[in-house]
Chain A
Amino acid sequence: MAHDGKFDEKFERNILDIAAEHGLYREVTLTKDGTGMRVDGTFPNIRMFENWLQRRLEVGLWSTILPSGLQKPCYVMSNFYCSVTKPWLTIPLDYHVLSNDFKTRLRDTPHGSSEAN
C-alpha cells in the first residue's frame, strides 16, 4: 500500500489526534473520473477549524502530507491503491493552499496563543 508505513507512526498519531480534537469529519468519495478517492473534511464550527489549522500547521508546517490514517479506509472500502497521485491535488485539505491564507496570521500570532486548549 502506497502510504502505509511511509510516515513515522508518532507523526501519524499526532496528526490524527489533532483532527480528532477539533472534530474533523471526513468523507471519502470516488472522484468523477474514477481514478482516485476524494477526501472532504468539515468541522463543527469555524473556531474549531481555525484552531485545527493552526495546530496542524505547527505540526509539519507546509507539509502536503495527508495522514495515512485518513486514507486507509479507502483501501478497506475499495481496495484502492493510491498509486495515482493526481486526484489528491483536488483535496480541499491542501496545506500549500490553506497555509498561504494563514501564513501571515501565524507569523503575527504568539506561539502560546495558538494552543487550541
Chain B
Amino acid sequence: MVDPSKFHSYFESLHTWREWGDKFHTPRREAVPLVNLNGRHFEKVDPSCWPLDRWNFVKSGREDTPEEWNKFYENCLADKEELLTDVDFTMSTKHLEAEWADSIEDLKPYLTRSCILRWQAGARFRPHVDTWHPVRWLRLWGTTTPEKILLRYKQPDTSKGFCIWNDITKQDEVYQCSETPIEAGRLYLHDSMVWHDALAVEDDAFQFFISIHPRAYDLLLSSIH
C-alpha cells in the first residue's frame, strides 16, 4: 500500500516524464521508470517506458503495417519471437529510493520492468495481454486516482459492459472493470493473461505499471490483505 499523498508530492514535481512509445501522442501518455535496463532515470528513449510489444516490433525491422503487426503479435503469443521481456529489466532507478516507495521495500528485490504512468483524459491502452504461458513475470497494477481510470477485463457476460473492438482478435468484445473496489495506492495482483484495456476518464490519472519476478509469488500471497 502506497501513501497517495507522498506519491503525489514526489511525482507531481518531476520534470522527467517521457512520452509512452512513439506512436500515439494525444491524449498524452507519459511514464517515468522505476526499474529499467541501466538504472538511469533520465534516458530520453527508454524501452521500459514504451509499450514493449511496440519496442520489440520496431527493433525487429519489420515494415510498420497492420498486417506485419498482427503477424508479429501472433508470433509473440506462440513464443516464436526473440523479445526483450519484462524480466530483462532489473536495474532500479532513483525514483524507487524516494520516501513514497518505503512501503514496498519488501518487493524491491523482485521488481522487474516497472514504471509510473500519468495519462490525460481519453488516453488508452487498447485490448491486449501482457503475460502468456509459460509465465515468466507477474504484473501488479494500482492507481492513486481510481476515480480517473478504468481498467477493464474481457468478460464472458456480454449483456453489460464496455463494447470494444479488439483489433488483434478482430472481434467486438465486452469488457468490465473488476468488481473489487479500487483503493487509491493499493497494489493489486493483476491477471494480465486475460484480455484487458485501460482508459483515463480525467486528466492526470496515475497508475502503477509494475512487473515482478515469479519468485516473489509466496511473498505476494503472504502480503494479500
| Interfacial chain B residues near A19, Cβ < 8 Å | 162-164
Does chain A have a CB within 8 A of B160?
yes
CA distance A26 to B17 in the complex (A): 35
Contacts of A48 in B (CB 8 A): 121-122, 201
Q: How many residues of A contact B (CB 8 A)?
A: 28
A26 touches B122 (CB 8 A): no
Are A25 and B159 interface neighbours, CB within 8 A? no
Contact B159 A47 (CB under 8 A): no
B101 contacts the other chain (CB 8 A): no
A104–B97 CA distance with the chains assembled, in angstroms = 55
A27 at the interface (CB under 8 A from B): yes
A70 CA to B174 CA in the complex, in Å? 9
Whether A20 pairs with B161 at a CB distance below 8 angstroms is no
Q: How far is the CA of A116 from the CA of B122 in the complex (A)?
A: 8
Residues from chain A with Cβ under 8 Å of B165 in the complex: 12-13, 16-17, 20, 69
Q: Are A26 and B160 in contact (CB under 8 A)?
A: yes
> CB-defined interface of B130-151 with A at 8 Å, one 1/0 digit per residue?
0000000000000000000010
> Are A73 and B150 in contact, with the CB atoms below 8 A?
no
The CA of A20 and the CA of B172, in the complex, are separated in Å by: 11
Bound Cα distance from A12 to B166, whole angstroms: 12
B16 sits at the interface (CB 8 A): no
**Interchain CA distance A20-B201 in the complex, whole Å:** 11
Known: A72-B172, A117-B26. A20 touches B162 (CB 8 A): yes
A73 contact from B27, B124, B174, Cβ within 8 A: B174
SS class of chain A's interface: helix, strand, loop or mixed?
Answer: helix
Among B158, B163, B174, max chain A CB count under 10 A is at B163
Q: How many A-B residue pairs have CB under 8 A?
A: 69
Let me know if B124 and A44 touch, CB within 8 A: no
Contacts of A13 on B, CB cut-off 8 Å? Answer: 165
Q: Does B199 contact A (CB under 8 A)?
A: yes
Residue A77, interface by CB 8 Å: yes
Q: A16-B172, A45-B202, A47-B121 are in contact. Are A23 and B162 (CB under 8 A)?
A: yes
Chain A residue nearest to B160 in the complex (CB): A27
**When chains A and B are docked, how far (Å) is the Cα of A73 from the Cα of B172?**
9
Q: How far is it, in angstroms, between the C-alpha of A76 and the C-alpha of B199 when the chains are bound?
A: 26
* Cα A24 to Cα B175 with chains together (Å): 11
A27 touching B159 by the CB < 8 A rule?
yes
Asked if A22 is at the interface of the complex by the 8 Å CB criterion, the answer is yes
Residues of A within 8 A of B199 (CB): 20-21, 23
Contact A22 B160 (CB under 8 A): no
Asked if A65 is an interface residue, CB under 8 A from chain B, the answer is no
Bound-state Cα–Cα, A70 to B161, Å: 10
Q: For A76, list chain B residues within 8 Å (CB).
A: 158
Contact B163 A44 (CB under 8 A): no
A19–B121 CA distance with the chains assembled, in angstroms = 14
Q: How far is the CB of A30 from chain B (nearest CB, A)?
A: 10
Our pick among B124, B159, B172, B202 for the contact of A21 (Cβ within 8 Å) is B124
Are A69 and B160 in touch, CB under 8 angstroms? no
Question: Is the C-beta of A97 less than 8 angstroms from some C-beta in chain B?
Answer: no
Residues 55-94 of chain B, each 1 if its beta carbon lies under 8 Å from chain A, else 0:
0000000000000000000000000000000000000000
Q: Can you list 7 A-B pairs with a CB-CB distance of less than 8 A? A: A16-B163, A20-B162, A23-B162, A24-B162, A26-B161, A44-B201, A48-B121
